[in-house]
Structure 1
Amino acid sequence: MSEMNAVRFHGQKDIRLDKIPVPSVKPGQVKIAPKFCGICGSDLHEYLGGANLIPQQGHPHPITGETLPLTLGHEFSGIVEEIGPGVEHIRPGDRVCVQPIIYDDSCRACKRGLVNCCDKNGFVGLSGWGGGLSEHMVVPASCVKPLPDNISLEVGALIEPLAVGWHAVDISPYKDGDAALVLGGGPIGLAVVQALVGKGCKNIIVSEVSGKRREFAKQFGAHHVIDPVKSDMVEEVEKLTNDEGADVAFDAAGVQIAVDTAFKAIKARGTLVNIAVWEKRATLNMNDVTFRERRYLGIATYSLGDFEAVIKAISSGAMKPEGMITKVIKLDRVAEEGFKALIEDKENQVKILVDVGAGI
């Protein structure tokens, strides 16, 4: 049996470049050679403190049946190598990206089309079915999204995090003319900024403590940036919204102080949208919510159609995410040059891509 290289998670701060069997294709599946794969914040959380999302020995994922060690990588693009019987919308040689949600298609949420809210949900690259940090991988054909000729494979690897931002804006009550506040200028906060730009927002305000990330926010279309350490964020937002407050805010920071101030920075009947995955329990001042009839809305990744919407926005020029790529490394340098950079030099990094196709 032929073997391939794959970066696999074995445990906390333990990822290895392993030799594993090349997977074979079954009916309804597609075999892909990953070319570029982004390192996500969730990958970093698993590396530093996991396994959390990744299923551990004795507790296999309910859909994949797999446990660690697992191949990492859920933000990736690649080339179709082989298709199984019954696959019609793509062909070998096509350039594609992968929507990595794993869902059972039978729970109450899935029956409503809300596959991102599946009772048993998981992700390619975190729950099994291989991952983008490998030389070959196989997924169901429904996960595979063709890329137009004017979207590079490098940008194709950005579509997954951009889809998170797009989904957050899409299901929020944002409408034309609204002022939007974004908390956090990391990759997901910047994805929200670009989604707002793609939807024509004319007043995007970003609150971020890092000067470099405030620069990135401006680069990607934010109209105003605030340093919440040096300025009173609530006062600044009021100044920028004619003393009304933001119509909608997006929390991509996941820290308590951001939530506390965000509720005061949005107007009556405004909405705070939570995108962040919290490491510990948050608290809410319910009177800040109740007496001004504010709303708190959670979003989970992306849903059906969001990948296609982002692909269309990039292809049309409404979104221009190329500048998100701040570093490109090889497959055998993921720990040393990928995770290490995100830990020690995070304010200068937005998205680190692994050039899987370059070999080792």
Structure 2
Amino acid sequence: MKAARYYDNHDIRIEDIPEPTPANGEVLIKVAWCGICGTDLHEYLDGPIFCPTHNTPHPISGETAPVTLGHEFSGVIEALGEGITDLEVGDHVVVEPYIINEDVNVGPDSNDYHLSDNMNFIGLAGRGGGLSEKVAVKRRWVHKISKNIPLDQAAVIEPLTVGYHAVDRAGELPEGSIALVGGAGPIGLLTGAVLRAKGITVVISELSELRRKKALEAGSADYAFSPAETNVVEEVRKLSKDGRGADVAFECTSVQVVLDTLIDAVRPTGKIVIVSIWGKPATIDMHKIVMKEIDLRGTIAYVNNHPDTIKLVESGKLDLAPFITGKIQLEDLIDKGFDTLINHNETAVKILVTTDPQNLN
């Protein structure tokens, strides 16, 4: 079967590799669509980061480069390994793409398996990936979805769950609360969409006019301001009931000035959730944090959030179609996928990849 194989930075090859077979307790999935993630781009430009090297195997998967890429994917069950009785061939599914040690509690009561030692992801550290025709995945990480959800939209559920977990990390937010999202990249947009589906008024701060437009069109924001043209802090205060600022803010850029704006824009006792991955240290005005009693919280990926995210999508409160801005074949992964997202990222949110040309008809 065809697969996108990561060898090293700037070295991804479309190759023929053997088809997987499902082992005991595994599900064989025929992949329908796989999204290109910002993490994939970082691996291509600067990696290996999550991906193993040629000489150093990942401590859990045991695999070295090359590995198959792709962790944002949807598909249809083609076969079941022994011991699986609660799924059927033909079911539509998405994957929570974790690679986690066997001795870690990954049950429904766990809230920290995503923080366990050597945690990594299917499609980055081995065990196949969604940028291929088929993948075998342990039952624990496979989530059934309604056949009413188109499989292309289902491929966006994984990054949407990142946003869902970020909102969950913010704690209780009464309907009518005001949230400020810093940055309208894919995760900022999806976080805003989750917030609005929960009845929260969303303000997005974003320099790019195209991204601000997308935020409003896609239903990710009620208001979208350019910090180069507008005093975002003042606008947020005008929108808040008592003029004191946003109830919560989400940092989705890893840009210092954005973090500074969020600290100024939240009300006293407000919350700031750091969603982006920072490649360098940030500076924080601790006096403002103290004097406003701001809660500053981190968030990474998701933990037991997929079921609730899927229910939200199935409820119809959130439309994922506007976030899909391109569909390509696997053979065009670099030229039409990575190149667009690296060099023309204002024009794209989520580009989906398929190995089946019929999906593009």
Tell whether the structures are fold-level matches, with TM greater than 0.5.
yes
Give the superposed CA RMSD.
Answer: 1.7
1:262 equivalent in alignment to 2:259:
no
* 1:12-42 residue CA offsets vs partner (Å, 9 max, x unmatched): 1111101212122210001111110000011
Residues 95 and 146 of structure 1 are in contact (CA less than 8 Å); yes or no, is this contact kept in structure 2?
yes
Alignment-derived partner of residue 25 in structure 1: 22
In structure 1, runs of 5+ residues without a counterpart are: none
Runs of 4+ with deviation above 3 angstroms: 107-113
- Residue 107 of structure 1 and its aligned partner are, at CA, apart by 4.5
- Residue 167 of structure 1 and its aligned partner are, at CA, apart by 1.0
Q: How does 1:21-170 map to 2 (within 5 A)?
A: 21-107=18-104, 112-170=110-168
> Following the alignment from structure 2 to structure 1, what is the Cα–Cα distance between the partners of residues 59 and 227?
42
State the AA in 2 paired with 1:151.
I
Q: How does 1:321-332 map to 2 (within 5 A)?
A: 321-332=320-331
> Following the alignment from structure 1 to structure 2, what is the Cα–Cα distance between the partners of residues 14 and 281?
29
Residues 252 and 275 of structure 1 are in contact (CA less than 8 Å); yes or no, is this contact kept in structure 2?
yes
Residues 98 and 143 of structure 1 are in contact (CA less than 8 Å); yes or no, is this contact kept in structure 2?
yes
2:158 aligned counterpart, secondary structure: helix
1:21 aligned counterpart, secondary structure: coil
> Following the alignment from structure 1 to structure 2, what is the Cα–Cα distance between the partners of residues 313 and 108?
26
Alignment-derived partner of residue 172 in structure 1: 170
> Following the alignment from structure 1 to structure 2, what is the Cα–Cα distance between the partners of residues 108 and 98?
18
Normalised by the size of structure 1, how large is the TM-score?
0.95
- Residue 109 of structure 1 and its aligned partner are, at CA, apart by 8.9
* 1:218-257 residue CA offsets vs partner (Å, 9 max, x unmatched): 1233111110112222222212224211010011111111
1:340 aligned counterpart, secondary structure: helix
* 1:36-70 residue CA offsets vs partner (Å, 9 max, x unmatched): 00000111111111111212133221211112211
Residues 8 and 16 of structure 1 are in contact (CA less than 8 Å); yes or no, is this contact kept in structure 2?
yes
> Following the alignment from structure 1 to structure 2, what is the Cα–Cα distance between the partners of residues 21 and 43?
23
> Following the alignment from structure 1 to structure 2, what is the Cα–Cα distance between the partners of residues 13 and 88?
42
- Residue 185 of structure 1 and its aligned partner are, at CA, apart by 0.6
The structure-2 alpha-carbon separation of the partners of 1:108 and 1:92, relative to structure 1 and needing over 3 Å to count, comes to: closer
Residues 169 and 297 of structure 2 are in contact (CA less than 8 Å); yes or no, is this contact kept in structure 1?
no
Normalised by the size of structure 2, how large is the TM-score?
0.94
Residues 34 and 357 of structure 1 are in contact (CA less than 8 Å); yes or no, is this contact kept in structure 2?
no
1:335 aligned counterpart, secondary structure: helix
> Following the alignment from structure 1 to structure 2, what is the Cα–Cα distance between the partners of residues 214 and 356?
32
Alignment-derived partner of residue 202 in structure 2: 204
State the AA in 2 paired with 1:73.
G
> Following the alignment from structure 1 to structure 2, what is the Cα–Cα distance between the partners of residues 298 and 153?
31
Aligned length: 355
State the AA in 2 paired with 1:122.
N
